[in-house]
Structure formats: structure tokens, C-alpha cells
Amino acid sequence: ISSCYHLPGSYAKVMESSEISPENLKAALPAGFDPSVWKFTTLEADGTFYLYPQLINNIYDLQLEENFLDFAGGCGTQDYPYLIATKEHLSNVSLYPSASFKLLADIVEAVTAPVNGMSDFSGSFDGNGKNISLAITSQASYVGLFSRIVGGSVRNLTVTGSVSGGWTEGTVDGSSQPISGTGAIAGGCSGTSFVNCVNRANVTSSSGNAVGGIAGDAYYYPSAPTAASSFTQCKNYGSV
């Protein structure tokens, strides 16, 4: 048992909403509670604010609930991302496309389809220095571990295996060229940050339109509401 506390007797504090301030909450801490380690957090019920001591940065915030059904835990926030330990966990990224995720183990069984489906991914994905094996073949517009990332981020991730795209139908852009992309980590991206990402997968496309190692179509059109993406300390070792 760790990070636990016991208050002898009955210790309950109640504050009116007008009394709640950072200064009052700090002053209300019981004697012996270091304010650099503990804080008072309020829990509202029927208009009454109850105070309880809480470890700073403690994941067990009463306002958060860990998800052990779809993942290995976590809350989907930047501080407490959803934890991915299996291929099944990884496939559940599509259920929460704007959440934060952290990879706990290599995904050895090859991923065969974009983990976010055809919905834009706008969350954050921390590969945690792990590897994901890919064996994706698709004629969708955007093909990769993520089909398309808009305003999201991927970091500390390595991918291996193969990705094969080749879009044959759909809309066109202003130059009358098919809007499509094939990349190992992202088929397409806009306003996305890639940091310390490595591609060792082979990437091919029968259409030959917007093909890349880390990302396929890193699109940025000054006349359209899109933003440039950034690639920091990223490397490509796969054939394209």
C-alpha cells in the first residue's frame, strides 16, 4: 500500500462557493499535510462543496475514471493517457479520436487497417519508444497507421512492416488531382507534430500520389484552412 493517508476521527470540511479560492483551500489543509505534496479538492453535491485531501498529480481524481474496458487503464487526458498494451487496445483508438494515448508494449501482431478508421485523429499518441508492426493494404483515400491526423501529435514511435495504398476514386483538389496519401504513420496530416518517429516499413502506392515514409500527404494550402505539420528528429529507413 502506498500513497495512502488516514485522518483520525471524522474529518469533513464544507465551504460555501464564495469561500472557495486557492488561498483558502491551501489554508484548509490539516496540520502535517505538506502543500507541495497535497492539495484540497472540492467535490460538489446538491450545492454543497465538500473538501478532501488529495495527492497532487494523483490519477485517482474523483472527476476522472480509468478505462480498463477498452485499454490497460488511463483516462485519455494528456496527464493520464489511455494505456495501450495489446493490438485490441490499439484498435480502440478509433473510439476516442481526440484523446491521448501511450503505448506500453510492442505490437507484434501486424496492424492491418488504420487504427482511427476514416475519422480524423486529433489526439496525441506517445509510442513510448515501442514498435508497431504494420501490414496495411487499402484503396482508401488516406492509408497508414493513422489514415489522417489533423491537429494531433505522434512521438517516440517506430513502425515496421509494410503499407500499400492506391486510391482509385473520390474527390479532387484544386489542381484536379486525387486527394489521397499513403504513409507509414499517417496517410495524410495537417497541423500535426511528429517528434522522434522512425519508419522502417516499406511504403508503396499504385496511384503514386502523395507517398512518404512518415507521412504521405502533409498537406498545407495557404488558401485553405489547413496548417503546416512539423517533423522533429524523425527518420525514414523504409523504401518508398
DSSP3 helix / strand / coil % (the chain, rounded to 5):
10, 40, 50
Amino acid 174: pLDDT? 33
CA angle (180 as vertex; 119, 103 as ends), nearest 5: 45
Amino acid 39: pLDDT? 66
Contact 171, 146 (CB under 8 A): no
Amino acid 200: pLDDT? 97
Tell me which amino acid residue 13 is.
Answer: K
Amino acid 1: pLDDT? 46
Amino acid 169: pLDDT? 42
Using a cut of 0.85, tell me whether the model's pTM lies above it.
no
Q: Give the residues across from 14 on adjacent strands.
A: 50
Q: What is the pLDDT of residues 99-153, one digit of tens each?
A: 999 999 999 999 999 999 989 999 999 999 999 999 999 988 899 999 999 999 9
Burial bucket for residue 100 (CB in 10 Å: 0-12, 13-18, 19+): buried
Q: Which residues contact 137 (CB under 8 A, 6 or more apart)?
A: 112, 162, 163, 164, 165
Q: CA-CA distances (angstroms) from residue 109 to 23, 131, 135?
A: 52, 11, 9
- Region of 122 on the Ramachandran plot (φ > 0 left; ψ -120 to 50 alpha; else beta): alpha
The DSSP secondary structure of 71-85, one letter per residue, reads SSS--SSSSSPEEE-
Contact 188, 146 (CB under 8 A): no
**Three cell numbers, residue 42:** 472540492
Amino acid 155: pLDDT? 98
d(CA 105, CA 83): 10
Torsion sign (Cα): 82, 156, 150, 145: negative
**Three cell numbers, residue 35:** 502543500
pLDDT mean by block of 10 residues, the chain; 240 residues = 48 58 65 69 55 60 72 88 94 96 95 94 96 94 93 97 74 46 92 96 84 86 68 94
